[in-house]
Structure 1
Amino acid sequence: MSIAVDYADFAARELRGVSPAYERLALAVSRDDELLTLLGTLPPTKRQPNLLFGVVRLLGGPVEDPAAFHDFAVTHWPAVQAEMRVRATQTNEAGRCAVLLPLLAALPQPLALLEVGASAGLCLYPDRYAYRYGDQRLGAGEPVLECTADALVPPTRLPDVVWRAGLDLNPLDVTDTADLAWLNALIWPEHAHRRERLRAAAEVAAAEPPLLVRGDLVDDLPALAAQAPADATLVVFHTSVLYQVPQPRRAAFVDLVRELPGHWISNEAPDVLAYEGLPEQPGRALHNVLGLDGRPLAWTRGHGQSMVWFG
């Protein structure tokens, strides 16, 4: 798929009705020969819209007006491409806990959580946040994570988490100003509620920092998993991570995680982690598939804002 098609598809499937500013930008870039040529000089994994837009925001560039965005990106391309080469889209959206919670709450308690691609580890605190599924609220913490859940009886209890750890090639620290600035830059312009959610979740993580290990999802996963308490249910989970992993490495990870004790929760796009016999996807918007131990159970949106249960 060409870079232009990638940007146009991103505008149609992820941004339409969700971020008008980024929809305009993605469509403009898809038709911008100069920017497409510059993006073509980057490795394929470094060309995605979220990375480009986040880096321009981090550098103080404009994202509301496509013409101004073009001028800034082209003029400052050496700085833009340098940041894009060393950074990754580590969107640490705590809202994703809302689609993980129904599975976490149903597993044998207590839990030992291990997130692959953990970023700053904000999804390692599902027991500390509050949730609202329609009219039903669960928990008393902050932030409150809202999720529209179709064909699902919402959970009635929070999980009991006794151990939490994350594995990432570049773990982030929410107490570090530069790391927090990058997490903020990855949030889409109109999403003030997500910036507030990031602030509240970062306070939770800062009060009790998780164990975050710099490492590879295949080479270093067994050793970290072995540190989990033996009397807790190990849960290895990941959300919107495997698209950044080359296919052979992705397959090796799936083989490995299936052999570990405990359970495996995946939340990835269907073209990244494939399943046979999936029901029709709800609408044109991009959805992930929530799975437990390799069994697909629900369609979910990328920020945890909705899910459609079919399992």
Structure 2
Amino acid sequence: MTTVESYVEFGSREAHGVSPTYERLSQTVARDDALLALLDRLPPAKRQPNLLFGVVRWLGGPVDDPVTFHDYVMTHWTAVEAELRTRATQTNEVGRCAVLLPVLAALPQPIALLEVGASAGLNLYPDRYAYRYGDHQVGSGEPVLECAASGLEPPVRVPQVVWRAGLDLNPLDVTDPDDVSWLDALIWPEHAHRRARLRAAAAVAAADPPLLVRGDLVDDLPALASRAPAGATLVVFHTSVLYQVPPPRREAFVKLVRDLPGHWIANEAPEVLPYDGLPDPPSDALHNVVALDGRPLAWARGHGQAMTWFG
């Protein structure tokens, strides 16, 4: 996909109806030859809209007006480029726990959670959050994660998690204000509810920090998985991570994770992790596929705000 195509798609399929600011900005960048020329000097993974917009927000630049955004990026390109090259879109969206919960709750308990691409590890606490599926609430505590779910009976309880660990090339620390400010910058401008969720989830994680290991999803996964306690069901999971992994490495990961003991939950776009015989998605908006052990079960929106069960 070209840089232009990625910005057009982000605006029309991800930001449309969800973030007017980013929808407008994406479509403008897609027509901005000067900015596109700078972005095209970067590796493909460093050109993506979420990363560029997050970096500009983190540096204190404007994103609410395309003209001032253009002027800021062109004027401060040296600083913007440096951050683009060193940072990654580690959006630690706890709302995604709401689309994982029905799968996690149905597995043999207790469970040992291992997240690949864990960022700050906020999705390692599905047992500590509360959930609302329409009128049905599960669990207690903060944040309360709301999900419009169809086609399934919501779970009646949260999972019993006895061990939690994460693997990431650059794990973030929820007790470090700089790392938390980067997570905040990755949240889209209008999404005050997601900022409140981030703060609440960060407080949960900071009170009982997870085991986060700096490492590669293929080379270092078996050693970390071996540390899970006996008597617990190992669950390796990932959400919107594999698009950042080159296809050959992605294939090596899939082969590896299938052979590990326990279970594997994937929540990825169908172009990234394809499946045969998928039903049509509920709309033209970008959806992920939630799958258990390679078997697709549901469509899910990127921030966990909705899911359609078909498995």
1:10 aligns to 2:3 (yes or no): no
2:261 aligns to what? 261
* Secondary structure, aligned partner of 1:187: coil
1:127 aligns to 2:127 (yes or no): yes
Mapped to 2, the partners of 1:139 and 1:276 lie a distance apart of: 35
Mapped to 2, the partners of 1:149 and 1:251 lie a distance apart of: 31
Cα deviation, 1:272-309, whole Å, max 9, x if unaligned, reads: 00100000011110000000000000000000000000
State the number of aligned residues: 311
Cα deviation, 1:78-97, whole Å, max 9, x if unaligned, reads: 00011000000000000100
Mapped to 2, the partners of 1:28 and 1:156 lie a distance apart of: 45
2:247 aligns to what? 247
Mapped to 1, the partners of 2:121 and 2:224 lie a distance apart of: 15
* Secondary structure, aligned partner of 1:53: helix
Give the 5 Å matches for 1:95-174. 95-174=95-174
* Secondary structure, aligned partner of 2:147: strand
Mapped to 1, the partners of 2:85 and 2:3 lie a distance apart of: 16
Gapped runs of 5+ residues in structure 1? Answer: none
Mapped to 2, the partners of 1:117 and 1:285 lie a distance apart of: 24
Cα deviation, 1:22-73, whole Å, max 9, x if unaligned, reads: 1110000000000000000100110000000000000000000000000000
Mapped to 1, the partners of 2:250 and 2:160 lie a distance apart of: 30
Taking structure 1 as the reference length, the TM-score comes to: 1.00
Mapped to 2, the partners of 1:45 and 1:187 lie a distance apart of: 19
1:74 aligns to what? 74
1:44 aligns to what? 44
1:20 aligns to what? 20
Cα deviation, 1:247-286, whole Å, max 9, x if unaligned, reads: 0000000000000000000000000001000000111100
Mapped to 1, the partners of 2:207 and 2:124 lie a distance apart of: 13
Cα deviation, 1:147-206, whole Å, max 9, x if unaligned, reads: 000111000011000000000000000110110010000000000000000000000000
Letter paired with 2:69: F
Letter paired with 1:137: Q
Mapped to 1, the partners of 2:11 and 2:269 lie a distance apart of: 16
- Report percent identity of matched pairs: 76
* Secondary structure, aligned partner of 2:291: strand
1:60 aligns to what? 60
Letter paired with 2:29: V
1:210 aligns to what? 210
1:300 aligns to 2:300 (yes or no): yes
1:237 CA drift (Å): 0.1
Mapped to 2, the partners of 1:139 and 1:151 lie a distance apart of: 21
Letter paired with 2:309: W
Mapped to 2, the partners of 1:32 and 1:162 lie a distance apart of: 50
1:29 aligns to what? 29
Cα deviation, 1:83-112, whole Å, max 9, x if unaligned, reads: 000000000000100000000000000000
Mapped to 2, the partners of 1:13 and 1:115 lie a distance apart of: 26
Mapped to 1, the partners of 2:235 and 2:78 lie a distance apart of: 42
Mapped to 1, the partners of 2:152 and 2:53 lie a distance apart of: 35
Mapped to 1, the partners of 2:55 and 2:236 lie a distance apart of: 30
1:5 CA drift (Å): 1.3
1:286 aligns to what? 286
Mapped to 2, the partners of 1:46 and 1:242 lie a distance apart of: 15
1:4 CA drift (Å): 0.9
Runs of 4+ in 1 over 6 A off after TM superposition: none
Mapped to 2, the partners of 1:6 and 1:158 lie a distance apart of: 37
1:2 CA drift (Å): 1.6
Mapped to 1, the partners of 2:224 and 2:100 lie a distance apart of: 21
Gapped runs of 5+ residues in structure 2? Answer: none
2:232 aligns to what? 232
Q: In angstroms, what is the RMSD of aligned CA positions?
A: 0.4
* Secondary structure, aligned partner of 1:90: coil
1:143 CA drift (Å): 0.1
